[in-house]
Chains A and B, each alone.
Chain A
Amino acid sequence: MIPEVGAFSLILALCLSMMLATLPIIGAYQNNFLWMSMARPLSAGVFVFLAISIAILAYAFVTDDFSVQFVAQHSNSLLPDRYKFTAVWGGHEGSFLLWTFMLAGWMLAVAIFSKSMPLEFVARVLGVLGFLITGYILFMLATSNPFDRIVPLPPIDGADLNSALQDFGFIIHPPTLYMGYVGFSVVFAFAMAALLSGKMDAAWARWCRPWANTAWAILTLGIALGSWWAYYELGWGGWWAWDPVENPPLITWLFGTALIHSLAATEKRGVFKAWTVLLAILAFAGSLLGTFITRSGLLTSVHAFASDPDRGFFILAILGITVGGALLLFAFRAPLMKSEFGFDLVSREILLLSNNVILVVAAASVFLGTLFPMVYQAITDDLISIGPPYFNAIFIPLMALLALLLSIGPYTRWKRTSTTYLMQQLGKIALAALTLGVVLPLLVTRQISLPATMAVAIGSWIMLAMLQDLMNKTANKATRLKGLRALSFSYYGMQMAHMGMAIMLIGVALTSSFSSERSVLLSPGQDVGLGNYVFQFEGTASVNGPNYVGEQATFTVLEQGQEIAILHPERRIYLATNTPSTEMAIDAGFLRDLFITLGEQKEGDSWSMTIYVKPFVRWIWLGAIFMTFGGILAAADKRYRRLRRKQTESNRDSEKSNPIGGELQAGS
């Protein structure tokens, strides 16, 4: 009975979202105050009913209701409770419910935190989101209802959650990634609302910026969590595989990064208006593309869900209608978007434009590499794959170029910057960065290596430029502290995200160039050396978990004869599915990770295993954390809140004087 309530609640959410998709938008056209003002309560209603749905699904998991097909396929009575709860997103149906619920959460947030915008605009934003969520719920009810029952004979026990998913990373990575992904729907809805209203001034950009920054920050964290999880769970020692399902979030992220930069130019200077709208559409299309690739099963990937062509077709239809419709609307409105064009060749506008061109080219080449095999197969019927070397060949030079320009950006001024000023400010920094790049690796490793030099030079180029900029900005205040306090959250957010980029680049460059690995066969008592470390295999013992049995090995790691770590990699067999799984052991450190994966037992007591030393690998995720905080800091800037207060007051005044049509003027 209870699962039926969940399905019923989904249907109710569908009814409400259909109303949300139509009434407020029509209301905004006809200037019908009542219909427009229904947007907020309807959004709240959709949220509530989707929350009930997902709570009921979670309840079915926790109470082991295996008559529900989705629960039977993805849970087992032996599964620990925390994984029973998170198994809600352990398969296609439930994870799509989570995705839809996340969108409802964003809608609720827009409904609550939109007091500064005119009602007409809010009605359109929520209406567009209502249209999207209608499509999602229809998709769920038509092709992938998580509440479908197995009748008449439900299984006694479930098939268990995929063993690779029984991990902490699985608890946090999907929700965070989805939240960031779906956040770009909100940005898309803002752009659509602006297009629908025909008022393409800087106002929509200002309203949109905190949302875009927040979505970007969460997406950054979501991708980084996925990378970190893959690193310690999949046991191949890598942190990014250019897998077809990893790429769409990256494409979305690249478009999103371009977008948050061009939004700044649109808001402050009224330039690149049409371009910014286009980027908002592209970022959103990237997020739908990810859903399509994951759920249609068209590409080979570790992430792919067991697939069904109907689903792929349905998602393709949603993608076609929303993105196609958006581009059509864009084409009609583009002539309205006249950008002012008053800037010189050396100016902040040009730097932001370069940033955008680089990021969009990067996104396009990742897109090409991801979809090319599919297109090639459709045309020639031959199966091909595009390897990581393609992506590396494109991506590394582009990111290096981006990093070079990144330091110059904050020094430029809007409209015009003198080249002499830039030279005078940055010349010394460039010299210092180059010197550091040559000397520092030489001192530490006693050899010259190009990747290390590049990494240190680019990293210090960004960080030194940042410090110098901070000094400049605080130079005229009474004390440095006062100066630091006077700087805005946006400024700190930007610097922090840029520093994150520097940290990540250093990590990527060093770990890619200096990681070492060795696959060996060892018997207890034997040891093997790698780099400065000696790994001593002590032996194995059997372990029993709640739903698995396994062997646990013990290793002692020595550095110059000193014991520095004891590691316990495991080899498990999950009982319900009889699947083997390796649990690697990692000794994590700021400067290096030591990492062992256990293979299989060979003749006698000997085991095959792979041992890795990965310098600076943590810096990759540390950089992402900096970026996330940077994005959130920028979104939390006081000026958005000031704006909200001011605007709320003026909205209230205008409503008082003209209770029906008073929202029209509250634009700027």
Chain B
Amino acid sequence: MKPHRRKKLGIILFIAAGLSVAVGFTAFALKQNINMFYTPTQVAEGEVGAGQHFRIGGMVKTGTVLGATDSLKVKFVTTDFVSDVPIQYEGILPDLFREGQGIVAEGEMDAAGVFQASRVLAKHDENFMSPEVKAALDAAGASTDNYMPGGAN
């Protein structure tokens, strides 16, 4: 092998080694950080493993939002109009959180069957429904059109 060829090969091997390490780490990190998304019905049917960290999406059921008066604890029920899941959250809810609005919450189920949310997301644009919430409602067979102010644009 000519010297410059050998050098070229060396560099290519070096890059290949670096890349495979990177790919390995990336795949590992990816596997560690996947959050599955479940609908209230799937949760009610027990598809979620114990202690699993996941996302849930649905509508905030009208008349269920209960805020504590002396702390930032909030309780509400999310629904896909087939099943309901109670959610508890401590903190300040996003601006567009309100009853009848689609939300996505991230967290885990506790022993009592209450979803302990570490994060609650609501959309910034109320004409826009999160694909996740829409999928949850579609899966439950509920009509989404009535819950989108401004229509489905």
Interface residues of A (CB under 8 A from B): 159, 162, 164, 297-300, 302, 304-308, 341-342, 344-345, 350, 353, 357, 361, 364-365, 368-369, 372, 382-387, 389-390, 393-394, 519-521, 577, 579-582, 597, 599-600, 602-603, 608-610
Contacts and interface: CB of A to CB of B under 8 A. Distances in A.
A579 B130 contact: no
B66 interface: no
Q: What DSSP secondary structure best describes chain B's contact surface?
A: mixed
Given A382-B37, A609-B92, A368 B131 contact: no
Nearest to B57: A383
Contacts of B132: 300, 383
Contacts of A385: 34-35, 37, 55
A163 to B, nearest CB: 8
Contacts of A304: 125, 128
B48 interface: no
B62 interface: no
B30 interface: yes
Given A387-B35, A599-B72, 18 more contacts: A162-B125, A297-B131, A300-B104, A302-B123, A306-B125, A306-B127, A306-B153, A341-B8, A342-B4, A353-B15, A368-B30, A383-B36, A385-B35, A390-B33, A394-B25, A581-B95, A597-B92, A602-B69
B72 A608 contact: yes
A580 B93 CA distance: 12
Given A300-B132, A394-B26, A580-B96, A603 B33 contact: no
B34 A384 contact: yes
B35 to A, nearest CB: 5
Rank and list the top 8 A-B pairs by shortest CB-CB distance, nearest first: A383-B37, A390-B33, A599-B92, A603-B69, A393-B29, A361-B22, A365-B26, A385-B35
8 contacts: A164-B124, A299-B131, A306-B128, A365-B29, A390-B32, A599-B72, A608-B72, A610-B92
Given A341-B7, A383-B135, A519 B36 contact: no
Interface in B60-119: 67, 69-72, 90-93, 95-96, 104
B34 to A, nearest CB: 5
A579 B126 contact: yes
A612 B4 CA distance: 57
Contacts of A608: 72, 92
B11 interface: yes
Interface string B19-56: 10010011001101111110000000000000000010
Contact of B72 (A308, A521, A577): A521
Contacts of A365: 22, 26, 29
A609 B71 CA distance: 11
Contacts of B150: 159
Contact of B29 (A307, A394, A609): A394
Contact of B130 (A300, A364, A580): A300
Contacts of A577: 126
B139 to A, nearest CB: 10
A236 to B, nearest CB: 9
B71 A521 contact: yes
A357 B37 contact: no
Contacts of A297: 128, 131
B96 A579 contact: yes
B10 interface: yes
Contacts of A307: 128
B11 A353 contact: yes
Contact of B15 (A357, A579, A603): A357
B103 to A, nearest CB: 12
Interface of B: 4, 7-8, 10-11, 15, 18-19, 22, 25-26, 29-30, 32-37, 55, 67, 69-72, 90-93, 95-96, 104, 123-128, 130-132, 135, 150, 153
Nearest to A389: B33
Contacts of A579: 95-96, 126
Contacts of A597: 92
B95 A580 contact: yes
A305 B153 CA distance: 10
Nearest to B136: A383
B33 A345 contact: no
Given A384-B35, A393-B29, A579-B96, A298 B153 contact: no
> Which residue of B11, B15, B72, B104 has the most chain A CB atoms within 10 A of its CB atom?
B72
A341 B15 contact: no
Contacts of A345: 7, 10
Nearest to B128: A306
Contacts of A308: 153
A203 to B, nearest CB: 25
Nearest to A393: B29
Nearest to A162: B125
Contact of A384 (B37, B69, B70): B37
Nearest to B153: A306
Contacts of B153: 306, 308
A381 to B, nearest CB: 9
Nearest to B150: A159
A609 B93 CA distance: 10
Contacts of A386: 30, 33-35
A608 B90 CA distance: 11
Contacts of A387: 33, 35
A581 B37 CA distance: 28
Contacts of A603: 69-70
A519 B19 contact: no
Contacts of B93: 599-600
A654 B71 CA distance: 81
Contacts of B8: 341
A382 B36 contact: yes
A81 to B, nearest CB: 23
A302 B126 CA distance: 11
A615 B71 CA distance: 27
Contacts of A383: 36-37, 55, 131-132, 135
A662 to B, nearest CB: 39
Nearest to B38: A383
A357 B12 CA distance: 11
B59 to A, nearest CB: 16
A342 B5 CA distance: 11
Contacts of A610: 91-92
Given A159-B150, A357-B15, A357-B19, A298 B55 contact: no
A602 B104 CA distance: 24
A304 B123 CA distance: 10
Nearest to A398: B22
A394 B96 CA distance: 32
A345 to B, nearest CB: 7
Contacts of A521: 70-72
A231 to B, nearest CB: 15
A368 B130 CA distance: 21
Contact of A519 (B29, B91, B95): B91
A305 B4 CA distance: 53
B1 to A, nearest CB: 13
A546 to B, nearest CB: 19
A390 B29 contact: yes
B35 A357 contact: no
A159 B72 CA distance: 33
B127 to A, nearest CB: 5
Contacts of B72: 519-521, 599, 608
Contacts of B29: 365, 389-390, 393-394
